[in-house]
Amino acid sequence: MLRVRLTYAKRGRACFIPHIAIPSVFSRSGYRAGISFQLSEGFSPRPRISLGPELPVGVPALSEPLEVRLLSFS
Protein backbone atom coordinates (compact mmCIF):
# COMPACT_ATOMS: atom_id res chain seq x y z
CA MET A 1 0.00 0.00 0.00
CA LEU A 2 1.24 3.45 -0.89
CA ARG A 3 -0.18 6.66 0.59
CA VAL A 4 0.16 9.71 -1.62
CA ARG A 5 -0.65 13.22 -0.44
CA LEU A 6 -1.42 15.75 -3.13
CA THR A 7 -2.70 19.28 -3.44
CA TYR A 8 -5.03 20.37 -6.19
CA ALA A 9 -6.53 23.65 -7.34
CA LYS A 10 -10.12 24.44 -8.31
CA ARG A 11 -10.30 27.46 -10.59
CA GLY A 12 -12.61 28.67 -13.31
CA ARG A 13 -15.51 26.32 -14.04
CA ALA A 14 -13.98 23.62 -11.81
CA CYS A 15 -14.91 25.60 -8.69
CA PHE A 16 -18.54 24.64 -9.39
CA ILE A 17 -17.82 20.92 -8.88
CA PRO A 18 -19.31 19.98 -5.48
CA HIS A 19 -17.07 18.55 -2.77
CA ILE A 20 -18.91 15.21 -2.83
CA ALA A 21 -18.01 14.69 -6.53
CA ILE A 22 -14.25 15.30 -6.20
CA PRO A 23 -13.34 11.68 -5.28
CA SER A 24 -15.12 10.33 -8.36
CA VAL A 25 -13.31 12.86 -10.57
CA PHE A 26 -9.91 11.75 -9.25
CA SER A 27 -10.76 8.03 -9.30
CA ARG A 28 -11.98 8.16 -12.91
CA SER A 29 -8.90 10.02 -14.07
CA GLY A 30 -6.69 7.62 -12.10
CA TYR A 31 -8.30 4.55 -13.67
CA ARG A 32 -7.77 6.06 -17.12
CA ALA A 33 -4.10 6.60 -16.27
CA GLY A 34 -3.72 2.97 -15.15
CA ILE A 35 -3.35 3.64 -11.43
CA SER A 36 -4.39 0.82 -9.05
CA PHE A 37 -6.27 2.23 -6.05
CA GLN A 38 -6.75 0.48 -2.73
CA LEU A 39 -10.49 -0.16 -2.44
CA SER A 40 -12.71 0.15 0.61
CA GLU A 41 -14.38 -2.92 2.02
CA GLY A 42 -18.08 -3.58 1.83
CA PHE A 43 -20.86 -4.23 -0.63
CA SER A 44 -19.79 -1.57 -3.15
CA PRO A 45 -16.04 -0.94 -2.84
CA ARG A 46 -14.75 2.50 -3.77
CA PRO A 47 -11.23 3.91 -4.05
CA ARG A 48 -9.84 5.14 -0.73
CA ILE A 49 -9.56 8.88 -1.27
CA SER A 50 -9.54 11.37 1.62
CA LEU A 51 -10.16 15.08 1.20
CA GLY A 52 -9.55 18.10 3.38
CA PRO A 53 -12.27 20.40 4.68
CA GLU A 54 -14.90 21.31 2.15
CA LEU A 55 -15.39 24.70 0.56
CA PRO A 56 -18.71 26.15 -0.59
CA VAL A 57 -19.58 25.58 -4.25
CA GLY A 58 -18.35 28.44 -6.40
CA VAL A 59 -15.38 29.36 -4.21
CA PRO A 60 -12.03 28.92 -6.00
CA ALA A 61 -9.20 27.13 -4.20
CA LEU A 62 -5.47 27.20 -4.92
CA SER A 63 -4.22 24.46 -2.59
CA GLU A 64 -6.68 21.79 -1.45
CA PRO A 65 -5.28 18.66 0.29
CA LEU A 66 -6.01 15.15 -1.02
CA GLU A 67 -4.76 11.73 0.13
CA VAL A 68 -4.98 8.67 -2.11
CA ARG A 69 -4.12 5.09 -1.17
CA LEU A 70 -2.62 3.12 -4.03
CA LEU A 71 -1.82 -0.56 -4.49
CA SER A 72 0.87 0.12 -7.07
CA PHE A 73 2.06 2.89 -9.30
CA SER A 74 3.67 2.18 -12.64
Q: Are 65 and 4 contacting, i.e. CB atoms less than 8 angstroms apart?
A: no
Per residue in 41-67, pLDDT (tens digit) is 999 999 999 999 999 999 999 999 999
For 64, which DSSP code? E
Distance CA 68, CA 28 (A): 13
Residues in the chain: 74
Per residue in 1-57, pLDDT (tens digit) is 899 999 999 999 999 999 999 999 999 998 999 889 999 999 999 999 999 999 999
Query: Residue 73 above 80 pLDDT?
Result: no
Measure CA of the first residue to CA of the last residue in the chain; give whole Å: 13
* pLDDT at position 66: 94
* pLDDT at position 60: 94
